[in-house]
Amino acid sequence: MSMTLLQQWWRDHPEYDAKNAQQKTYGLSVVPIASPTVVPKLATTKIDPEADFLLTDIEMQFITTDNATYGPDPGPMNLKFQNFSQSRALMNIPLDAIGVVMQADSNPYIGQLPYPELIKAGGLFGVYVTRPAGHDTVRIYFALTGFELW
Amino acid sequence: MSRPKNGAEIDLTQFWIDRKDLAACPKKYGAWYGVEYLSPPANSDRVRRVFRGDEDSTFCATTLSIIQSAADGSGYVAVPASFQIQVGGLLAMNHGIDQGGISLSIDADGPWWLVYPIVVDAMQDVYVYMKSVAPNVNTQVIFGGIRVYP
């Protein structure tokens, strides 16, 4: 995450103490998901009920369904991340877009958010996954990295 | 997602200085906006509206992703194409469509960091003109950036 983005976020949110923010990573996995999967599959993770979480980066990896190796070919994949602790969707791709926000051809894929996303304590963060035809069934692991805010 | 594959990550310091009105707004959220469509017949143009700015916020685009895949969903492809982006009737980005040449080799999906944020005011339309040498390529044009609420 760009330092200038983070700095701007801290400026906008003086109610949080940047000096006491601790780095933290939440894990999130999607059960083996076949291809094609047209109806979105949703996986969520629950944030610590005692501390808000400032999400800055998302890493994803593809693993064989028997958890043996990394890197089966996932093919095209549509991902929509949603912060359920806010009233609005985190990733809002309106109109006729189908919601691809990353090309998942690298493994792992590390993506920065356009701006830090605050997930309230106890809130849910999730991802909807759909896949078009013709590729390996994969299990997907997401690592959600950011700062725990007390 | 915003992995800076191409070009240096944008430094927003100067932007926030230039747009103190936006910098002063505490309500900022990351967002992606985009569109998906089939590429036009070879060597012809196609124009699509990527998105319309929200009624109640200003969108500051910082990254652009162009993701190409086969129309049958079988996999990603890399097809040379030319793009021109217009915001509110003004040219925001010209990758050579008027030259009739191929200026952008889509062997990487991006996102590309823009050299300076593109500001999309409320209800402003963002269009993309595309010229491709191959028909029936599924193309997604997605901007990542920051939604700023007054």
pLDDT tens for B6-61 read 456 677 888 999 999 999 998 998 888 877 777 777 667 777 787 888 889 999 99
State the Cα–Cα distance between residues A106 and A84, nearest whole angstrom: 27
Interface residue B51 vs chain A (CB under 8 A): yes
For chain A, the three-class secondary structure string (H helix, E strand, C coil) is: CCHHHHHHHHHHCCCCCHHHCEEEEEEEEEEEECCCEEEEEEEEEECCCCCEEEEEEEEEEEECCCCCCECCCCCCCEEEEEECCCCCCCCCCCCCCCCCCCCCCCCCEEEEEEEEEEECCCCEEEEEEEECCCCCCEEEEEEEEEEEEC
Chain B residues 116-135 within an 8 A CB cutoff of chain A:
none
Instruction: Count CB neighbours of A13 within 10 A.
Output: 17
Q: From chain B, pick out residues whose CB is under 8 angstroms from the CB of A100.
A: 34, 36, 67, 140, 142
**What's the pTM?**
0.81
- Mean pLDDT over residues A13-40, rounded? 88
State the Cα–Cα distance between residues B107 and A57, nearest whole angstrom: 24
Look at B31 and A116 and tell me if their CB atoms are within 8 Å: no
Q: What is the average pLDDT score of chain B?
A: 75
Look at A101 and B32 and tell me if their CB atoms are within 8 Å: yes
Question: Minimal Cα–Cα distance from A49 to chain B, Å?
Answer: 22
Asked whether residue B84 carries a pLDDT value surpassing 80, the answer given is: no
ipTM of the prediction greater than 0.90, yes or no:
no
